Amino acid sequence: MPVNAIALTWPPSAIHGWGVFGTNLLREVLHRGGIKPVTLFPMQEDFIAPGDRTLFQPLIDEQRQIEAQLAEVQGNITLGGVHVLHSLGNDLVEPAAAARFRGEPNVGFTFFENMTFAPDVVARNAHFQIMMAGSTWNAEILRDLGFPRVGCVFQGVDTDAFSPSPKTGRFGDRFVVFSGGKLELRKGQDLVVAAFKRFHERHPDALLVTVWLNPWPAIMQDLAASPHVTTLPDINTPFPNCINDWVRDQGVPEGAHIDLSPTFNADMPVLLRECDAALFPNRCEGGTNLVAMEAMAAGLPCVLSANSGHLDLTGTDLSANHRCYPLTRQSPVPFGPAGSEHWRESDIDEIVETLEAIYQDRSTAKSRGDGAHDFMQDWSWRNQIDRLLSELDRLTP
């Protein structure tokens, strides 16, 4: 059955993964025409890039009208003939406010990292005629759980914006290592700090540039479980100061690190072109790590943990990899939260060795970066939204 309308139960934004996904989904649907997009929850306009605010204004106005019309409605609301996409997290749970919206069909879209599922997880989610996963790893787990209609579609990249470009000299002649993603234990920024501290002792010209804004600062406190850091970010200190202070507390000297949060997604290509490498020792990714994908598309030599959703980027034959630097020494995480049995710990020695290899052999590093850029050309948002619509057509009962 062809898709005629798509409604989102999460707001688009320019500062985190779900929001960027929603933004690009709406943008592509609007540009192609023929499919009506609907947003069911208010957009935080401060988190929308200026160009998108203009494009999305009719959707913003319509959402306000929908909200007013439904203010007094109780119970579930069915949108006839609309594919309603729901964002599902760990244990495939969604907010109650979003759960009241039902589509024809109802689609659960999920990126999960926690492997603790309730015994009734399939029955509880039977109202989703389609389950869509953001990684091969997540899709396989959904099928193993017993969901009958499972699709898999990766996020995309703006391949026009994220592409190799000459440096402008913003950071002088420093060797710049980039790391991005919201600050939390799962993303492995404690490993980045520990490894970079040692790397910087060898190479004082190295600079760590981060974009680690976490819109939910309380989550950062799970870093207390890490054996690699001695303090926690102060959630009462605004970004980026709380991150800069925390990194200095770990022994990275003043001038060796800067956090540039918040950086809108539209401004990321300009930042990435100033970097020499990107580091992502993430312990688990339910999706394919949007920030890593963008760094690869920009032609950066990327150091990636070979686990979970990252395997869609590294490939499973790690010995034949020519598009990134996979971290192959992966061990269970003994201090992870409940449900983290699939999380994997990268080896700090291997991280330092890999950064050293990039530093010493810029020619091979450039070749890997070129390979990453070439690989990501098939992952444009246009192609990925095409694949999403094709999967929805295929799976719609």
Instruction: Please determine, for residue 16, whether its predicted confidence score (pLDDT) is greater than 80.
Output: no
What percent of the chain lies above the pLDDT cut of 90? 88
Residue 160 pLDDT exceeds 80 = yes
Least confident of 14-28, 155-169, 357-371: 14-28
Return d(Cα 39, Cα 227) in angstroms, integer: 42
Angle 280-282-284 from CA coordinates, rounded to 5°: 145
Q: Are 235 and 242 in contact (CB under 8 A)?
A: yes
pLDDT of residue 274: 98
* pLDDT single digits (tens) 307-329: 999 999 999 888 777 899 999 99
Q: Which of 69-73, 82-86, 144-148, 336-340 has the lowest mean pLDDT?
A: 69-73
| Backbone torsion region of residue 343, taken as left when φ is above 0, otherwise alpha when ψ lies between -120 and 50, otherwise beta | beta
Picking from 297, 305, 352, the residue whose alpha carbon sits closest to that of residue 325 is: 305
Average pLDDT over residues 9-15: 88
Residues 11, 14, 15: CA angle, nearest 5 degrees:
100
> How confident is the model at residue 214, as a pLDDT?
94
pLDDT at 1 exceeding the cut of 70: no
Q: What number is the average pLDDT over the span 2-9?
A: 93
| Average pLDDT estimate for 115-135 | 96
Q: Give tens-digit pLDDT for 210-247.
A: 999 999 999 999 999 999 999 999 999 999 999 999 99
Q: Provide the pLDDT confidence category of residue 272 given band limits of 50, 70 and 90.
A: very high
Nearest CA to 323 out of 354, 367, 363, 280 is that of 367
Q: Tokens standing for 130?
A: 């389609």
Q: Which of 256, 254, 134 has the alpha carbon at shortest distance from 192?
A: 256
Confidence check: pLDDT of 297 > 70: yes
Question: Looking up tokens 């007013």, which residue turns up?
Answer: 68
Residue that has been written with the tokens 């389609």 in this structure:
130
pLDDT of residue 213: 95
365, 301 Cβ separation under 8 angstroms: yes
Q: What average pLDDT does range 52-69 have in this prediction?
A: 92
Displacement of CA 48 from its chain's centroid (Å)? 17
Determine which of 2-6, 156-160, 165-169, 218-222 has the lowest per-residue pLDDT on average: 2-6
Quick count: other Cβ atoms within 10 Å of Cβ 64? 11
Rounded to an integer, what distance in angstroms lies between the CA atom of residue 362 and that of residue 276?
Answer: 9
Q: In the prediction, which pLDDT does 22 show?
A: 94
Q: What are the helix (H) ranges across the chain? A: 17-32, 50-69, 96-99, 121-124, 136-145, 189-202, 241-249, 268-272, 290-297, 311-314, 348-360, 362-376, 381-395
Sheet of strand 150-152, all strands in order from the earlier edge strand to the far edge: 36-39, 5-8, 83-88, 106-110, 130-133, 150-152
Q: State the pTM of this model.
A: 0.91
Q: Summarize the confidence of residues 37-63 as an average pLDDT.
A: 90
pLDDT in tens, 373-386: 999 999 999 999 99
Average pLDDT, the chain: 95
Mean pLDDT of the region 98-110: 95
Least confident of 45-49, 253-257, 393-397: 45-49
Would you tell me how many other CB atoms lie within 10 Å of the CB of residue 75?
A: 5
Q: What is the rounded average pLDDT of the residues 204-211?
A: 98
Domains and CATH numbers, the chain: 5-156+380-395 (3.40.50), 175-378 (3.40.50.2000)
Cα–Cα distance between 292 and 171 in angstroms, integer?
21
